[in-house]
């Protein structure tokens, strides 16, 4: 194993002399898997690591000392200049359908899995450096990440976590002191990403495409043990695994739809087996409600448009089911049986997605019970929002005021180009609320717990990224991060974070930034 080199100053830093030592307590189950699963290699050191941010709360959850991470040794580890004790860095291999085309070999082209740690919740987490240098899977890429996309992933993944959406998280960001060449030269950075695991649909596809059923089985057993232990000891664990992934994805995509989140690049290599949101590239949040909205500059056909996300997810899950057919056949003892099981499992996506989305919409409207007509009530509101270009997030948030004791409709109705469209809809909504009864203040409070006031609005994300990349000014990043980390609270002084972009501030296109 190549060890990075250190200058004497590094080795004799006061932190080292005072005995400070970053302790990760790594335990690396992935590195115990067969060698076909990865290539072992260390991150490539960078010129001048500098800390941007350590996620104190997440560090504590991972039983890490945030001060240690901020030390010289800590920053060297976060930049890939030093390999932490117990880490076994590796690049994972996988395949994937990218915009519908199968690529039989992808893999970590710019990331290194350092290892796994067990958090205070007893769960095992991957700790991965993103932007950590070239690997055998880099293809034409430089293995690096630019500061802008690193901060975007930091902000948006942390916002999603605060919104209660399963997601990978950001433990830290550092700048490298090096430039990365994209359209122009940009400051480089490394993100430390934490995930329940980095198993993807594409990992299954990799072994399936090679007809390597032995390793496919190893992979499925590993996924069961790590994420679906309740399925591990059922009669048909592989069937249960497939059902489990489908169930988690159905719930996940429903959560995205309830928040106006557009992932932007739902390729099978970006579809997590654990059910987390992964790979924040050209992602964005809806402003004015437009179900057909596409932000990503490379998604020309609208494959991953907002309202196409459930379909894209089913398509990806069908690729997983396909890859798992040899395993399902072991359980059903026939190919036909395997196909029947796969189809039946996939058919469960839609009802599960719809149930989750409908329940979520009822919650957003302040309805605790389920009654006939609720679906139509919610769809009518969305139609009205679309016709009147009403801001997605604020409409639901201001409905909370309209549901409260003093029934204040002024805020929500002004979001509609034609406020009378809201008035017409609100008649039916009020009737439905009356029928349900209950305490108005309690209802408004419950609604405020599911309808965020602050999301990482695209123009504010852009502003924070520009300040950091162009002026080394990290204050807008810090401020936005702080604002999105408590998304359900209305806090004095943070009003601008709740406001939609002005027309001239609107972000129309986002970029992968890779």
Residue positions annotated with a catalytic role: 269
User: What is the C-alpha to C-alpha distance for residues 488 and 501, in angstroms, rounded to an integer?
Assistant: 19
Contact flag: residue 272 with Mg ion (CB under 5 A)? no
211-220 LR contacts (CB < 8 Å, sep 24+): 212/36, 213/326, 213/327, 215/34, 215/36, 215/37, 216/323, 216/324, 216/326, 216/327, 217/327, 217/330, 218/33, 218/34, 219/33, 219/37, 220/324, 220/327
User: Which CB sits closer to Mg ion, 209 or 512?
Assistant: 512
Shorter beta-carbon distance to Mg ion: residue 157 or 270: 270
Residue 281 makes contact with ligand AMP by CB under 6 A: yes
Which range, of 22-30, 41-49, 263-271, 403-411, touches ligand AMP by CB under 6 A?
A: 263-271
**Under rule CB under 6 A, residue 106 binds ligand AMP:** yes
89 binds, among ligand AMP, Mg ion, none (CB under 5 to 8 A by kind): none
Backbone angles phi, psi at 404, to 5 degrees: -75, 175
Stretch touching ligand AMP by CB under 6 A, among 55-63, 264-272, 436-444, 448-456: 264-272
Residue 512 binds to ligand AMP (criterion: CB under 6 A)? yes
DSSP 183: S
Tell whether residue 39 is a contact of ligand AMP (CB under 6 A).
no
Stretch that binds ligand AMP, among 103-111, 158-166, 255-263, 457-465 (CB under 6 A): 103-111
**Binding partner at 109 among Mg ion, ligand AMP, none, C-beta below 5 to 8 Å by kind:** ligand AMP
Closer residue to Mg ion in complex, CB, 61/152: 152
Which residue's Cβ lies closest to ligand AMP? Answer: 141
What is the total count of residues that contact ligand AMP (CB under 6 A)?
18
When the beta carbons of 47 and 181 are compared against ligand AMP, the nearer one is: 181
- Mask of contacts with ligand AMP, 107-126, x by CB under 6 A? xxxx----------------
Cα separation, 27 vs 35, in Å, equals 17
Structure token digits, residue 84: 């932490």
Measuring CA to CA, which residue among 469, 472, 454 is closest to residue 150? 469
Interacting residues with ligand AMP between 123 and 152 (CB under 6 A): 137-138, 141-144
Instruction: Choose the binding region for Mg ion from 39-47, 201-209, 272-280, 502-510 (rule: CB under 5 A).
Output: 272-280
CA 407, 411, 416, 419 dihedral sign is: positive
Contact 243, 349 (CB under 8 A): no
Rounded Cα gap, residues 47 and 79, in angstroms: 10
**Residue numbers 219-238 binding ligand AMP by CB under 6 A:** none
Is 39 or 512 the residue whose CB approaches ligand AMP more closely?
512
With a CB cutoff of 8 Å and minimum separation 6, the contacts of 474 are: 52, 53, 467, 468
The closest of 141, 131, 119, 124 to 55, measured between CA atoms, is 119
By CB under 5 A, name the one of 243, 270, 316, 352 that touches Mg ion: 270
Exposed (0-12), middle (13-18) or buried (19+): which is 380, by Cβ within 10 Å?
Answer: middle
CB of 40 to Mg ion, least distance (A): 21
As given in the structure block, the two tokens for residue 423 are 């008035």
- Strand pairing class (185-195; 169-181): antiparallel
Choose from ligand AMP, Mg ion, none: what does 281 bind? Cβ within 5-8 Å by kind. ligand AMP
Q: Which residues, including other chains, have CB under 8 Å from residue 211's CB and lie 6 or more apart?
A: none
**Contact between residue 197 and residue 312 where contact means Cβ atoms under 8 Å apart:** no
105 binds ligand AMP (CB under 6 A): no
Count CB neighbours of 420 within 10 A: 10
Q: Does 279 bind Mg ion (CB under 5 A)?
A: yes
Site string for Mg ion, 100-119 (x = CB under 5 A): --------------------
Cβ of residue 200: shortest distance to Mg ion, in angstroms? 8
Compute the least distance from the CB of residue 3 to ligand AMP, in Å: 23
CB of 279: closest distance to ligand AMP in angstroms?
Answer: 5
**Residue selected from 68, 153, 279, 391 as contacting ligand AMP according to rule CB under 6 A:** 279
**Lookup: tokens for 290:** 């437009």
Residues of this chain that interact with Mg ion (CB under 5 A) are 270, 279
Point out which residues bind ligand AMP (CB under 6 A): 106-110, 137-138, 141-144, 265, 269-270, 279, 281, 512, 514
């Amino acid at each position: 194993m190549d060890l990075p080199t250190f200058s004497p100053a590094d080795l004799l830093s006061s932190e080292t002399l005072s005995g400070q030592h970053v302790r990760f307590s790594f335990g690396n189950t992935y590195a115990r898997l067969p060698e076909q699963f990865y290539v072992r290699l260390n991150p490539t050191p960078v010129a001048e690591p500098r800390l941007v941010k350590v996620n104190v709360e997440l560090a504590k959850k991972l039983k890490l000392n945030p001060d240690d991470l901020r030390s010289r040794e800590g920053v060297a580890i976060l930049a890939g200049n030093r390999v932490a004790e117990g880490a076994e860095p590796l690049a994972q291999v996988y395949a994937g359908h990218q915009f519908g085309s199968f690529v039989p070999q992808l893999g970590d082209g710019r990331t290194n899995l350092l290892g796994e740690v067990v958090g205070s919740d007893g769960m095992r987490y991957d700790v991965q450096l993103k932007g950590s240098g070239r690997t055998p899977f880099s293809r034409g890429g430089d293995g690096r990440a630019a500061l802008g996309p690193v901060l975007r992933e930091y902000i948006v993944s942390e916002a999603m976590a605060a919104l209660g959406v399963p997601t990978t998280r950001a433990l830290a960001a550092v700048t490298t002191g090096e430039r990365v060449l994209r359209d122009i030269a940009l400051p480089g950075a490394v993100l430390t990403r934490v995930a329940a695991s980095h198993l993807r649909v594409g990992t299954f596809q990799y072994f399936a495409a090679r007809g390597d059923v032995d390793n496919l089985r190893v992979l499925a057993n590993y996924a069961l043990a790590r994420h679906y232990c309740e399925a591990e000891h059922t009669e048909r664990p592989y069937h249960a695994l497939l059902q489990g992934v489908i169930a988690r994805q159905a719930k996940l995509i429903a959560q995205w739809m309830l928040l106006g989140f557009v992932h932007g690049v739902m390729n099978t290599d970006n579809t997590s087996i654990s059910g987390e949101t992964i790979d924040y590239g050209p992602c964005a949040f809806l402003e004015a409600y437009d179900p057909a909205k596409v932000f990503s500059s490379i998604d020309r056909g609208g494959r991953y448009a907002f309202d196409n996300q459930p379909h894209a997810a089913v398509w990806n899950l069908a690729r997983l089911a396909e890859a798992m057919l040899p395993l399902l056949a072991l359980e059903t003892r026939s190919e036909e049986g395997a196909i029947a099981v796969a189809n039946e499992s996939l058919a469960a996506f839609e009802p599960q997605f719809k149930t989750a989305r409908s329940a979520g919409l009822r919650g957003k409207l302040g309805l605790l019970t389920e009654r006939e007509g609720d679906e139509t009530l919610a769809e009518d509101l969305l139609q009205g929002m679309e016709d009147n270009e009403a801001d997605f997030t604020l409409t639901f948030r201001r409905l909370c005021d309209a549901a409260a004791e003093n029934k204040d409709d002024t805020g929500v109705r002004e979001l509609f180009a034609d406020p009378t469209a809201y008035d017409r809809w609100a008649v039916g909504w009020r009737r439905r609320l009356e029928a349900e009864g209950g305490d108005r203040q309690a209802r408004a409070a419950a609604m405020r717990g599911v309808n965020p006031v602050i999301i990482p609005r695209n123009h504010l994300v852009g502003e924070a990224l520009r300040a950091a990349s162009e002026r080394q000014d990290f204050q807008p990043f810090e401020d936005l991060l702080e604002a999105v980390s408590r998304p359900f609270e209305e806090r004095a002084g943070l009003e601008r974070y709740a406001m939609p972009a002005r027309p001239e501030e609107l972000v129309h296109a986002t970029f992968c930034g890779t």
